[in-house]
Amino acid sequence: MDTEKVQAATELGKERKKRFKSKTKRGKQKYGVIYPVARIRSEFKNKLRCKVANNAVVYFCGVAEYIMSEIAELSYNVTLDRKKAQITSRDCMLAVRGDEELDLFCKTAIFKNSGVLPHVHRDLLKAETNKKQTPSEANPPATVAN
């Protein structure tokens, strides 16, 4: 009879353990970020060769994820404005350079195969408006005084 009670208790304990056993949570479930926290932590350890706190890596992943989502959203808007179907490096460059804060953040960034920002100097625009005037307006006839 005692063995039956012990066996029943162990079975009950196993059932409770199964119910309340927490599964190992990974990046998205545990921290709410999509970026791979463990991989970035190992990269920090290998590249920096120093100890890095776990919450620092999670914070870094969150910030990097936010910046990338902003760039992706702005690039998508630029792509729609240009009436294209695919986001290119030029769209990313135009998006970053068009946003004041991202431009300050990515000031030294180089975007390969993206060209330059469209810009015409204002002095060239003034010279162009002067050329549009007719020759009679540019050089009025001299009046002869009698």
CATH number at residue 119: 1.10.20.10
CA distance 88 to 78: 10
Angle between helices 54-81 and 89-98 (to 10 degrees): 100
Q: Is the residue at 5 inside a domain?
A: no
Q: Is the residue at 12 inside a domain?
A: no
Q: Is the residue at 119 inside a domain?
A: yes
Q: Is the residue at 6 inside a domain?
A: no
| CA-based torsion, 113, 119, 124, 125: positive or negative | positive
Count of structural domains, the chain:
1
Domain that holds residue 45: 27-129
Q: Is the residue at 101 inside a domain?
A: yes
Per-residue pLDDT of the chain (146 residues; tens, 9 = 90+): 577 776 777 776 777 666 666 666 766 677 888 888 889 889 989 988 888 888 899 999 999 999 999 999 999 999 999 999 999 999 999 999 999 999 999 999 999 988 888 888 888 887 666 666 655 555 666 666 65
Residues 6+ apart with CB under 8 A from 92: 71, 75, 111, 114
pTM score? 0.64
Please state, in angstroms and as integers, the Cα–Cα distance from residue 63 to each residue in 13, 16, 33, 56, 139, following that order. Answer: 43, 39, 10, 11, 62
